[in-house]
Chain A
Amino acid sequence: VLTQSPGTLCLSPGERATLSCRASQIVSTNYLAWYQHKPGRAPRLLIYGVSSRATGIPDRFSGSGSGTDFTLTISRLEPEDFAVYYCQQYGSSPLSFGGGTKVEI
Chain B
Amino acid sequence: EVQLVESGGGLVQPGRSLRLSCEASGFSFEDYAMHWVRQAPGKGLEWVSSINWNSRVIGYAGSVKGRFTISRDNAKKSLYLQMNSLRAEDTAFYYCAKDGAGKSYGYGYYYMDVWGEGATVTVSS
Q: Which residues of A contact B (CB under 8 A)?
A: 31, 33, 35, 37, 42-45, 48, 54-55, 84, 86, 88, 90, 93-100
Contact = CB atoms under 8 A, between A and B. Distances in A.
Contacts of A54: 100, 113
B68 to A, nearest CB: 13
Interface stretch (B15-23, B57-65, B70-78, B83-91): B57-65
B115 A43 contact: yes
B118 A100 contact: no
Contacts, number: 66
Nearest to B44: A100
B110 A90 contact: yes
Given A33-B111, A90-B111, A93-B59, A48 B100 contact: yes
Nearest to B50: A95
Contact of B111 (A37, A55, A88, A98): A88
A31 B44 contact: no
Nearest to A42: B115
A96 B47 CA distance: 6
Given A35-B112, A42-B116, A95-B50, 10 more contacts: A43-B37, A43-B112, A48-B113, A88-B111, A93-B59, A93-B108, A94-B59, A95-B35, A95-B59, A99-B44
Nearest to A48: B111
A86 B44 contact: yes
Contact of A95 (B95, B109, B118): B109
